[in-house]
Amino acid sequence: MLSSDEYYSERNQGSSLGRDWRAAKDEGLRPTSDRREDNQTCADSVRRKRPAGCLYLLSTTTSCHSFSCGTNMSSLALSVVTAGTNMSSLALLVVTAGTIMSSIALSVVPTVFSLLSLLLDTVVSGTVVPEVVVTHGALKGSYLTSRNGREFVAFRGIQYAKPPLGELRFRSPKPPSRWSGVRNATEDTSPCTQRSIFARQVEVSGSEDCLYLNVYTPQLPDGSSDVLPVMVWFHGGGWVSGAGTSKFYGPQFLLDKDIVLVTVTYRLGPIGFLSTGDEAAPGNFGLKDQVAALRWVQDNIAVFGGNPNSVTIFGESAGGASVHYHILSPLSQERHSAVLVDTSAQWQLQAPSAEEWDVDPLIPFKPVVETTAEEGEDIFIPDHPLNMILNKSREFNIPWITGLNSGDGGLKAAPIFAKDNLVQDLDREFDRVAPISMFYGETSLKTEEVSQRIRDFYFGDKPINNDTLHSVVDMFTDNWFLSGADQAVKLQVEVSSAPVYYYYFDYRGTKSFSELFSGLTTDFGKNPTPDEKDVAVRWQPITSSNLEYLHIGSDVYMDSGLLKERAEFWASLPVRPNLHKDEL
């Protein structure tokens, strides 16, 4: 006999079954043969948004049935949603169409109303709410819509580690505790504690309880669907600002593709990267948060339809540099199958010495080489990255992609040109300002020589003003991004047994390249080649010292020697890439 929980109701003009719920339950109704097609349609539809006029049952079986509640309840529809594979509770939904409820005498109504107040949140706008069970408990998600109108499933604010508070502050992340019931995963959680380097905000925002991630998937697995490749995103922001929330990085573009997307929020600034150089606070806690997130992905992504054996990690700016660290770190081995880096920046850690040129007071807190570890914990970066690459401390057999954008330096140029006095300072006192703003003041013994060579290379005899704005953007692009990316690519090609891809994004048109570029991104790990219907070019990996790359502009084509003269200029300067001691 089928239980009453296995029925769904369907408000359908002309329905003549005329049985109330109790009678249907007592009679043990089963779907008749002429209803099997409808039953299968019902089963198939529970994974999609429901039509406004129908309410469906999700059950552990594929059997469905329709019934009415008698002539006195012709405008009242009942939906029974049972505990199936993705549901953990029974929900009852009452939908009225002008019925005066006080006149309804059916005995089932009190039951409906008593449960309705507790369980109504499991059904939203006629949609069965998606649920999954991960290692530490059950989660309730929501449906969103992609840029092209594709419906997908979102689980936001999933805890992947315990809140790093109290004794866990300045410690490696610990697995979360198990929870009972179903946790709401329909909203973003707070970013980690930070002060924005983009808005130059004075106040500190965010929360220390911030170790959460978001998962977006085209569909939850139903036993017949293929597992999908997984992409894990680490945000940028200089390791002092940013978050993996949908406010910062929404999924609407990438979820037009058949991938499972994970975005991660991790500790920042002094909370994430303070290091005392000993067991008290070894450092790199933000990067270790990322490792914990990758472990969580390996353990849980299958329930979202993702393939744990096909995980690509990617990021931009500090997120891209983080990805490069994961290539090197022994803690991250076997947790990803491909990497995609947007700019391997040449990060410098000294704080600017002039207040008006201060990027952020948190800037000294960055990744460090760890000489000791907490008891029972491993070291994330055991040696200088350059040594780890040259000494081949691990097997570099993971496909790797990196690149940069033509206007990345605008991040630094924009706030300068927003104030006339800063433009004048840069022009009149270049020897003083340039070492501060480009972070070579404490990494070169010849700062005056370096400053003069930079000024001559980018400006010649011209003053620095609005007419030379583009030269300022190029200068900061090359200093902050190109020089580091160029060095990283050359080293990676030298030691890697897997293909290395390089790109340069220089599109300045009226049409969007988002679809093409998101396609390049999501196809990576298989073969990062644009669809032939979009562009007739095959993205080739680097095969020589000329550094072949894909140029993405008004035209898309393969080229070599990306900004070669500018890259070689920075490589020729007497500047150490890192600070002294063990800092990166």
pLDDT in tens, 323-339: 989 988 989 876 666 66
**pLDDT at 44 exceeding the cut of 50:** no
pLDDT at position 554 is 84
Average pLDDT, whole number, for the chain?
A: 75
Q: Comparing 534 with 134, which gets the higher pLDDT?
A: 134
Backbone angles phi, psi at 310, to 5 degrees: -135, 75
Output the pLDDT for position 248. Answer: 86
When comparing pLDDT for 394 and 423, which is higher? Answer: 423
For helices 430-437 and 420-428, angle between their N-to-C axes, nearest 10 degrees: 110
How far apart CA 512 and CA 554 sit, in angstroms, is 10
How far apart are the C-alpha atoms of 279 and 374, rounded to whole Å?
A: 5
Decide: 191 and 205 in contact? Cβ < 8 Å: yes
Q: What is the pLDDT of residue 355?
A: 43
Sequence-separated (6 or more) residues with CB below 8 Å from residue 267: 164, 192, 193, 208, 210, 211, 273, 285, 286, 289
Tokens of 256: 């037009």
What's the CA gap between 476 and 481, in Å, rounded? 8
Tokens read off for 227:
């597992």
Q: What is the pLDDT of residue 392?
A: 81
Three-state DSSP string of 441-501: CCCCCCHHHHHHHHHHHHHCCCCCCHHHHHHHHHHHHHHHHHHHHHHHHHHHHHHCCCCEE
Give the closest residue to 32 by CA, choosing from 51, 50, 17, 20.
17
Are the CB atoms for 257 and 518 separated by under 8 Å? yes
Q: Taking a C-beta distance cutoff of 8 angstroms, is the pair 528, 401 a contact?
A: yes
Q: How far, in Å, CA of 286 to CA of 16, rounded?
A: 62
Report residue 127 as tokens: 């949609």
Return the structure tokens found at 351: 């704080």
Determine the pLDDT at residue 95.
Answer: 31
Instruction: Give the pairing type, strands 151-159 and 182-184.
Output: unpaired
Which of 378, 369, 145, 112 is CA-nearest to residue 250? 145
Match 């990306």 to its residue by tokens.
562
The helix (H) or strand (E) run that includes residue 42 is helix 36-45
In-domain check, residue 375: yes
pLDDT band at 128; cut points 50, 70, 90: confident
Percent above pLDDT 70 for the chain: 66
From CA 496, how far away is CA 415, in angstroms rounded?
Answer: 39
Structure tokens at 212: 């959460």
Q: Judge whether 41 lies within some domain.
A: no
CATH of the domain at 181: 3.40.50.1820
Mean pLDDT is lowest, of 83-92, 356-365, 396-405, 561-570, for 83-92
Q: Which residues are CB-neighbours of 321 under 8 A, at least 6 positions away?
A: 315, 341, 343, 344, 345, 347, 484
Q: For residue 333, how many other CB atoms are within 10 A of its CB?
A: 13
**Does 538 map to a domain?**
no
Residue 10 included in any domain: no
What is the tally of structural domains in the chain?
A: 1
DSSP 353-377: SSGGG-S-TTTT---B--S---TT-
- pLDDT (tens digit, 9 = 90+) per residue, 204-250? 899 999 999 999 999 999 888 889 999 999 999 889 999 999 988 99
Q: Which helix (H) or strand (E) holds 182?
A: strand 182-184
Per-residue pLDDT band at 68 (split at 50, 70, 90): very low
Give residue 22's identity as a one-letter amino acid code: R
Task: Report yes or no on 580 lying in a domain.
Answer: no
Give the model confidence (pLDDT) of 172-212 as tens digits: 999 999 999 999 999 999 999 998 766 566 688 999 999 99
**100 compared with 283, residue with greater pLDDT:** 283
In a domain, 50, yes or no: no
Phi and psi (nearest 5°) for 138? -95, 150
More confident of the two residues 456 and 93: 456
Between residues 359 and 56, the one the model is more confident about:
359
**pLDDT score, position 341:** 64
Identify whether 517 is part of a domain: no
pLDDT at 14: 38
Q: What percent of the chain has pLDDT over 90?
A: 45
* Domain that includes residue 325, residue range: 131-398
Residue with tokens 């290539």: 327
> Would you say 360 and 351 are in contact if contact means Cβ atoms under 8 Å apart?
no
Residue 126's Cβ-count burial label (10 Å; 0-12, 13-18, 19+) is middle
Residue 153 lies in a domain: yes
